[in-house]
Structure 1
Amino acid sequence: MFVVFLGAYQLHLRQLQEANDQEKTLFLSGKMAFMTLDPCGVELNWPERQMIQSNATLGVYTDAQLTKPEKGIPHLYLHMPDNYIEIQDDREWMVYGQHKGYGIRVLRAKQNNYPVLEAKSNHDGAVIRLIDEKKEVLFEQPLKIKSLGGLSYYCPLDSQYEKSYPQRKLAEGVDSALKIVLGFNSSPKQMEKKSVISDELAEERCGFHLIRLKDGKLHGVMDGRNVIIDYSWIEDYTEFCSDHYVALARVTEAAKNDSSLGGSVFLFDRKTLRPIVRFTSQPRNGSDKFSFLSSNKLQSVRISQSSMLVQTEIGQFFAGNAEFF
């Protein structure tokens, strides 16, 4: 009996020595004396401070093996800011509004003047690095592939892993470490001022041609630039350009023949195609039955800070409910 106890105690000590802090929290605390899986052996690299400026444009590169992994390999998910540069082997895309439901990617010439968060696969799993403009590594976190209950995962874990083990919450994880490194956990800022919009008339049909591909997204051209748009329903919109803006408008007509118009207008910065604001309205009579006004009946968009006025062949549509991005 003593030999059995001694062997169990030695196993417990060995696992305590080899387990990282996350595994000790999940598997070797409270009444749990042993782990049923081999220790990860990779510690969470916890940063002491933010590594880049909060307003810096961040480039992101992720190996395809990590975002579209083979069977048995876990998917690596990185928490992104709303706006960032998506780096591919032969091109890069400026991504806007990724987490606000209005994601748009704009193809741009490759540049090398920004910090890069990269995730690359290796024989153990992967490694995440933050590299500055001088190509110096500011932060590095190795990841090791482990499996539990037939499911594979990366170790160290994200703090969100607590969903699988609600009795042992993880206060610190790879995701929360990256938030500190990238400045996501900075002190709350004062609410940013709304974008200042100048009064302009958009009449030019500047080119808006998209098709939906197998990925469910819209691919095509917007004002002469290649774009990928996440929200597929915008293919029904009509484009109008002014000196500084691209306005995408969609107008609805109430079923009753009383000239009640509704709809919405998206406004983009013409130089960058960054989403600025969406103005919406509903048909004046409150009818839930409507049809879309055909594109050739839309004539122009009057742009201002507080509203959009769309001129059509059958009347004007006023949109005054603003949602700034």
Structure 2
Amino acid sequence: MELTYGDVKAASDRITGHVRPVALAPGDAVPTIGSDPYELWLALEFMQHTGSFKARGAQNFIQAHRDAGTLPDAGVTIASGGNAGLACAWAARGQGVRATVFLPTTAPAVKVERLRSYGAQVRLVGTEYADALAACHEYGDTSGALLSHAYDNPYIAAGAGTLMMEIHRQLPRLDTVVVAVGGGGLFAGIATAADHYGVRTIAVEPENCRALHAAIEAGQIVDAPVDSVAADSLGARRATELALHAAQNYDVTSILVPDQDIIVARRNLWHDRRLAVEHAAATALAALTATDSGYRPESGERICVVLCGANTDPADLVQ
């Protein structure tokens, strides 16, 4: 399965004016050992609607199906109490489309209420995500609702890739983009657009949530363990075929960072800049700050780190 730059460009044409353009902030000039500093920028995508990049893919998914006449009267359905569910509910409300979101009964009440605030029909099923997912599929089969996915869909990935188009528009001489990877929707979209512009992509995962890294090593999609402080957003057991294709065919470097460095990067963003982001967003920055991530910028390299989401509890940042 392959995603093309044309898919990302089509997504941009659909969602422009419906999503917030990304703001970029200059980072601190960080010296490399024995050399001049590299140039660092932060893409503040956590300021996006619903607090994460997921709004882009959800908007593109619904708009594309509406344009194609394949959006059923029953609307859309998704199993997700996280960023994807919020984005789906938000995009559906904006299009006047019904959204039915399935969650396990153990989902935090704050997430349930936020989904309802977007107009979603919330259904609590079982005690695990797998229970909610099975119920979502059954509902889609019986109701005719269009089944959405958190990341494994070309419309979702292409929508996420529009972020790279906006970054390149503001930083046309960019050398490298750094992005965290879960299931691979954001990564696939970013890497596809980045390759079109001649920009290298650094794919960053927690050491114990390495679905893409494991797939690259195996040369095929494989199951990977999920055990990280960032697992709420990056805890996919399997990467997508779209992500693996991008990793194998574009200028991509896959690296792993330990949880402790993710925690430090997140706290530093708060203490230095008063940015409260998810551990997933801090995972990308940890590629530059970890003691041994395997990635060291070259002198003068122009780098943009994507801070992808901020749906987090900031209580532990002020301790």
**TM-score past 0.5 threshold:** no
TM-score normalized by structure 1? 0.21
More helix per residue: 1 or 2?
A: 2
Larger radius of gyration: 1
Greater relative contact order, per chain length (Cα 8 Å cut-off, separation 6+): 2
